[in-house]
Amino acid sequence: MKISLLGSGRVAFHLAKALLAKGHHITQVYARDFEKTQKFAEQIQAKACQSLQEFQPSDLIILAVSDSAIAELATQVHELFPETLIVHTSGSTDIEVISHVHEKAGVFYPLQTFSFEREVDWSATPLFVEAAVDADQKLLADLANSLSNRVYQYTSKQRLTLHLAAVFACNFSNYCLDMAKQVVDEEQVDFSLLYPLIVETAKKATQNDPKQMQTGPAMRGDQNILAMHQDLLAQANRDDLKQVYQLLSDGIVKRHHLA
């Protein structure tokens, strides 16, 4: 399949590499920073374009850009290629952002966290496809199946719910790990001592109901430990961490009906 790609960020980078590895052809790339686009295009054997007007016809146009840029780019691409399928890769953006200006609209959303420094296991990454036209739905499903063993046809509302859950599961949990590192760094304690605990926690949460796996002082209702921890944070002048500690502890107590 001949694919045109808009974007040069983390999603675009990993998606392009995965598609190329499966025999698909990224014919051309466009992004705001042309110098960055050129380097990216060299890596995926594509043509770097300075404007959308340089694009040649392709089978699919992927908008791997920020949510705020999707609507404007969809309108611009529609004017150039009114018959070509256009998809975005966002978990939180409704398909209607494209379909209200372009009939052949779709979504190709990978539920994963992307970093330039780490490779992605696409075979295990859930991919969610949606299309305004039935024939396009099949095309996107076939494309997704060429990358992943976990392909789903979800609506925009379902996908938004997943995206919200992903923020809790990934972004917020990573920030909690960041806060944990800040706490031990303060006393020059080795953060790697927490690695086995972090790994075991992730295993339990993914192999069981997370609610049933909850442990800790808030779960036990141990007010002495809760107070001791908050005093320690207060002494370190970390009111920011103290507030998060209190909020999460209160949430655990409420969740487990210990209030």
Q: Which residue has the tokens 């944990």?
A: 180
Strand order from edge to edge, sheet including 2-6: 47-49, 25-30, 2-6, 60-63, 85-88, 105-110, 127-131, 151-153
For the whole model, what pTM was predicted? 0.91
pLDDT in tens, the chain (259 residues): 899 999 999 999 999 999 999 999 999 999 999 999 999 999 999 999 999 999 999 999 999 999 999 999 999 999 999 999 999 999 999 999 999 999 999 999 999 999 999 999 999 999 999 999 999 999 999 999 999 999 999 999 999 999 999 999 999 999 999 999 999 999 999 999 999 999 999 999 999 999 999 999 999 999 999 999 999 999 999 999 999 999 999 999 999 975 4
Residue 29 contacts by C-beta under 8 Å, 6 or more apart in sequence?
4, 5, 6, 7, 8, 12, 16, 37, 40, 41, 44, 46, 47, 48, 49
Task: Region of 56 please: left (phi>0), alpha (psi -120 to 50) or beta.
Answer: beta
Domains and CATH numbers, the chain: 2-154 (3.40.50.720), 160-255 (1.10.1040.20)
Q: What amino acid is encoded at 52 in this protein?
A: L
